[in-house]
Structure 1
Amino acid sequence: MNSKTFTEDLYQKMVDEEDARACKAIDESACKVVPGNFVLTIVSNFFSKLGDAVSNPKIVLPWIMETISAPLFLLGFLVPIRESGSMIPQLVIAGFIRKMEIRKWIWVLGSILQAASMAGMGFVAWTMEGAAGGWMIIALLIIFSLSRGLSSVAAKDVLGKTIPKSQRGKVTGWSASAAGLITLAYGIVLVFAPTDNFTPAVYGLMLVSAALFWIAGAFVYAKIKEFPGETSGGANGFLEAIKRVNILKTDKPFRKFVITRSLLLCSALTAPYYVVLAQDKLGSPAYLLGLFVIADGAAGLISGPIWGKFADVSSRNVMIIAAALTAILGISVFMIDSLQSEWLSLMWVLPLVYFFLSIAHQGVRVGRKTYVVDLAEGNKRTDYVSVSNTLIGVILLLMGLTGTLATFLSISQIILVLSILGVIGAWMAKTLPDVEK
């Protein structure tokens, strides 16, 4: 069996449709190479997700900061910088990307820069300590996050040009599943490998290995066959960015999507509070952290392809169900903590709840990514992605301040507040047009 036949056979199995070669919303030239592009996109995403798993900002980077005796207050910057830094500049980035007929090279550049900054963090972890080491990691994380923004804008645009409309959710779903498999394996390592024995050199090598995964991802992504697309509107990046914000006023479906996506941040924002609640009930044994990582990985592995296939039918309904599940879980945990608090002290209860929360979060991610790609075509898609990501980056930073509620609310009460946003988000998602139809 030659490589082409193997690729097409794999593609047919992953798409699992009678008319897998039917093309919607892409041109004829791109249609002829869909199988190869489909597989290459998933493989490149797999490598980038593998890098993410090894350098998890909620696990690995905090441990490294503590190991090198970095100031404690710096730990609070890790996740906000990692997430928001890649979103906020996207309006300006998109202005430059619009000038390019072939945009896969932006993704490749972003991946290489992520690799370089991650390798730099590995070197810092290996050779530096104290405040200097901590601030150097923060600086490199900013570069990493900005580089991630390059890849983020380009990825959705290339996906829209190379993969048919009815198959984009499956790409995201299978990528999430692959990431879940890696995260699951990583969690098992955490459960059985005593982290007390990890030295700065080990952490340094881990981050350097993560850098190699991003290099591999860039190499694979460069092989995607992308055909020239629109280049209109590629003027001054900042001025064009300001003008494009106006689509929030003129484009009602997009405006409602941005509001809905903002409310759906509850699935990500509640996650740390489940971990904190577990630590409050059970302490901080290493195996407990491993159980949460395993729950997260298993959820991605199992639910990714299912959400992806469902999203190609109705990404709006995926967001509705995922938001509702997030809300149900949060309200249930609040009720249990209020009425039968001792149940949460059972070792398996909160990791199991976190497993279902991670399933819901996968649904939110797959649903909103598929929705924004299917909502528009051509350069308008780039505008949608960049405007929404920039605004969500700002909103994420603001909503991150919910941690200040801990001064007068219990952990389960904060989970309840965020879960109410999920209820509103599900209702808002129901008002969105069903773009797949």
Structure 2
Amino acid sequence: MAENTQELVFEMLTSGDEGRVCKDIPDSACKEEAGNFFTHVTSLSTSKISDGLIDPKLVLSWLLTTIGAPTWLIGLLVPVREAGALLPQLFTAAALRELPQRKWAWAAGSAVQGLAAASMGLAAFFLDGAAAGYVILIALAVLALARSVCSVTYKDVLGKTVSKSRRGTATGTASTVGAAAVLVYGGLLTVGWIDRMSLVIGGLLLAGGLWMTGAALFTTLKEEPGSTEGGGNPIKSFRDNFQLLAEDKQLRRFILTRGLLISTALAPPFMVALGTDTEEASQMFGGLGLLVIASAGAGLLSSYVWGRLADRSSRKVLILTAAAATLALLATLGLNAAGLLQDIWALPLVLFVLMIAYQGVRLGRSTHLVDMASQDNRAAYTALSNTIIGTLLIFGGGFSVVAHMAGETVVIGLLALMSALAIPVAFGLEEVQDS
């Protein structure tokens, strides 16, 4: 009975004109696809919820400020999180390829993330000041390294267990579930029914438990052993992976598109800073809860839709999201020039639109990469792409210097230009779902 219900819900979520056809996974994997689909959704949902509960840009920054950690430690949160999660992947992909079943690597990485998140909560409870800040930053670095293992293996496992045309739906559904849960969390932070520090510490501990639960669930995937070629010396792998850039024009174009669209990740802090430059506006929009709600609300409303659209054309999703981000950033500049950005409706509106675009970028580029690659090169493509983008995100910290010297409007204008340039670049991508 449960199996029939699972099949029915699976068909409802993934129904399309082509029916239940497995395009690029073997028959043995096709028979297990419904169960694997829901294992992906549940495991990834625990990760998405946990990401929102510890969000370094919002939650951890507020936490370190409140417990009196040094300002320079707070400034390291986002770079450590981004660099630690992306940069190691080019060197670790070769070793991870030696595993015929990579679900075990993802599960181990998820479990370590859980331990790291729980350590942050315990540090905030028992310590304060610089001591708490050091422990939380170290735990975040460990979490980021563990996340890099999950990132480099996940797309490969997804590509082996869920067929093309349904992968975006799986990740989009998980993003929607995660956003709904984080939206509730943001509401609790906003209304103040529970002491905010207790709620944040509780959220960190809950994130730890959820990551470990996701690890246990992921081990139940029915994953066929895959190719192990390409493992070995990480330095040789580094050179070989970069050789892919010379050999694959579409990979170069995809990475360029993704690189330009980091504007959607970098822009929110500058938009909020520009829209809260008065004391009244800061009190209205600067609260932790409202920022969490804006981000989670956009994910809740758009993730499943973006996932379904990505299964039809991830190329068009990237084009649409680039256009939406450009409009949101230009609208921010226009509202600021007109003196309206501090109005109660203005900043939430443009920030919400940008976060919808950000969700589309994440789902569109993830689905495009999985579908453009084959089982033999998917892990290498993922590692190379993530390493390059991680490097770009670190250099993106230079926008803070630009903002200090020239103001937030100049930074937002530059990010709008990046988003606009992504549109013609994305037009040149192939329709990988049709191939």
Name the residue aligned to 2:36: 37
Q: Please tell me the residue identity of whatever aligns with 1:284.
A: S
Name the residue aligned to 1:216: 213
Name the residue aligned to 1:25: 24
Task: Please say if residues 257 and 422 of structure 2, whose CA atoms lie closer than 8 Å, have aligned partners that are also in contact.
Answer: yes
Name the residue aligned to 1:121: 120
Q: Please tell me the residue identity of whatever aligns with 1:5.
A: N
**Offset of 1:36 from its aligned partner?**
0.5
Name the residue aligned to 1:421: 418
Name the residue aligned to 1:304: 303
**Offset of 1:12 from its aligned partner?**
1.1
Q: Distance in 2 between matches of 1:244 and 1:198?
A: 46
In structure 2, the CA distance between the partners of 1:286 and 1:344, relative to structure 1 (3 Å rule), is: closer
> In structure 2, the residue corresponding to 1:344 is in which secondary structure?
coil
Task: Please say if residues 98 and 231 of structure 2, whose CA atoms lie closer than 8 Å, have aligned partners that are also in contact.
Answer: yes
Q: Distance in 1 between matches of 2:276 and 2:250?
A: 42
Q: Please tell me the residue identity of whatever aligns with 1:303.
A: S
**Structure 1, gaps ≥5 residues long:** none
Name the residue aligned to 1:379: 376
Name the residue aligned to 2:223: 226
Task: Please say if residues 178 and 301 of structure 1, whose CA atoms lie closer than 8 Å, have aligned partners that are also in contact.
Answer: yes
Q: Report 1:85-96 matches (<5 A).
A: 85-96=84-95
Name the residue aligned to 1:359: 356
In structure 2, the CA distance between the partners of 1:286 and 1:93, relative to structure 1 (3 Å rule), is: farther
Q: Please tell me the residue identity of whatever aligns with 1:115.
A: G
Q: Report 1:169-318 matches (<5 A).
A: 169-193=168-192, 197-199=195-197, 203-281=200-278, 282-285=280-283, 288-289=286-287, 290-318=289-317
Q: Show CA shifts across 1:275-318 (max 9, x none).
A: 21222144432765333322221211111111111111110110
Task: Please say if residues 85 and 149 of structure 1, whose CA atoms lie closer than 8 Å, have aligned partners that are also in contact.
Answer: yes
Task: Please say if residues 190 and 287 of structure 1, whose CA atoms lie closer than 8 Å, have aligned partners that are also in contact.
Answer: no
**Offset of 1:336 from its aligned partner?**
2.3
Q: Report 1:375-414 matches (<5 A).
A: 375-414=372-411
Q: Distance in 2 between matches of 1:379 and 1:241?
A: 16
207-216 or 292-301: bigger deviation: 292-301
Q: Please tell me the residue identity of whatever aligns with 2:316.
A: N
**Offset of 1:436 from its aligned partner?**
1.2
Q: Distance in 1 between matches of 2:122 and 2:182?
A: 24
Name the residue aligned to 2:107: 108
In structure 2, the CA distance between the partners of 1:188 and 1:19, relative to structure 1 (3 Å rule), is: same
TM-score by length of 2: 0.96
**Offset of 1:55 from its aligned partner?**
1.3
Q: Show CA shifts across 1:175-225 (max 9, x none).
A: 121122122212211220168x434x6543331111001011111111111
**Offset of 1:235 from its aligned partner?**
1.4
Q: Distance in 1 between matches of 2:331 and 2:205?
A: 41
**Offset of 1:139 from its aligned partner?**
1.0
Q: Distance in 2 between matches of 1:269 and 1:21?
A: 39
Task: Please say if residues 90 and 387 of structure 2, whose CA atoms lie closer than 8 Å, have aligned partners that are also in contact.
Answer: yes
Task: Please say if residues 271 and 332 of structure 2, whose CA atoms lie closer than 8 Å, have aligned partners that are also in contact.
Answer: no
Q: Distance in 2 between matches of 1:99 and 1:270?
A: 38
Name the residue aligned to 2:15: 16
Name the residue aligned to 2:129: 130
Q: Distance in 2 between matches of 1:393 and 1:300?
A: 22
Task: Please say if residues 167 and 367 of structure 2, whose CA atoms lie closer than 8 Å, have aligned partners that are also in contact.
Answer: yes
Task: Please say if residues 49 and 207 of structure 2, whose CA atoms lie closer than 8 Å, have aligned partners that are also in contact.
Answer: yes
> In structure 2, the residue corresponding to 1:345 is in which secondary structure?
coil
Q: Distance in 1 between matches of 2:133 and 2:295?
A: 27
Task: Please say if residues 36 and 221 of structure 2, whose CA atoms lie closer than 8 Å, have aligned partners that are also in contact.
Answer: yes
Q: Distance in 1 between matches of 2:105 and 2:331?
A: 44
Q: Show CA shifts across 1:147-193 (max 9, x none).
A: 00011111100000011111111112111211221222122112201
Task: Please say if residues 331 and 350 of structure 2, whose CA atoms lie closer than 8 Å, have aligned partners that are also in contact.
Answer: no
> In structure 2, the residue corresponding to 1:280 is in which secondary structure?
coil
Whether 2:70 is the aligned partner of 1:63: answer no
Q: Show CA shifts across 1:246-265 (max 9, x none).
A: 11111111011111110010
> In structure 2, the residue corresponding to 1:156 is in which secondary structure?
helix
TM-score by length of 1: 0.95
Q: Please tell me the residue identity of whatever aligns with 1:179.
A: G
Q: Show CA shifts across 1:70-114 (max 9, x none).
A: 101111111121122110000111111111110100100000110
Name the residue aligned to 1:331: 330
In structure 2, the CA distance between the partners of 1:264 and 1:112, relative to structure 1 (3 Å rule), is: same
Name the residue aligned to 1:54: 53
Name the residue aligned to 1:150: 149
**Offset of 1:69 from its aligned partner?**
1.3
Corresponding residue pairs, total: 432
283-292 or 426-435: bigger deviation: 283-292
Q: Please tell me the residue identity of whatever aligns with 2:293.
A: I
Q: Distance in 2 between matches of 1:351 and 1:287?
A: 8
Whether 2:167 is the aligned partner of 1:168: answer yes
Q: Distance in 1 between matches of 2:408 and 2:188?
A: 29
Q: Please tell me the residue identity of whatever aligns with 1:16.
A: S
Task: Please say if residues 126 and 203 of structure 1, whose CA atoms lie closer than 8 Å, have aligned partners that are also in contact.
Answer: no
Q: Please tell me the residue identity of whatever aligns with 1:178.
A: V
Q: Distance in 1 between matches of 2:53 and 2:249?
A: 40
Q: Distance in 2 between matches of 1:249 and 1:308?
A: 30
Identity rate of aligned residues, in percent?
37
Q: Distance in 1 between matches of 2:300 and 2:214?
A: 20
> In structure 1, the residue corresponding to 2:85 is in which secondary structure?
coil
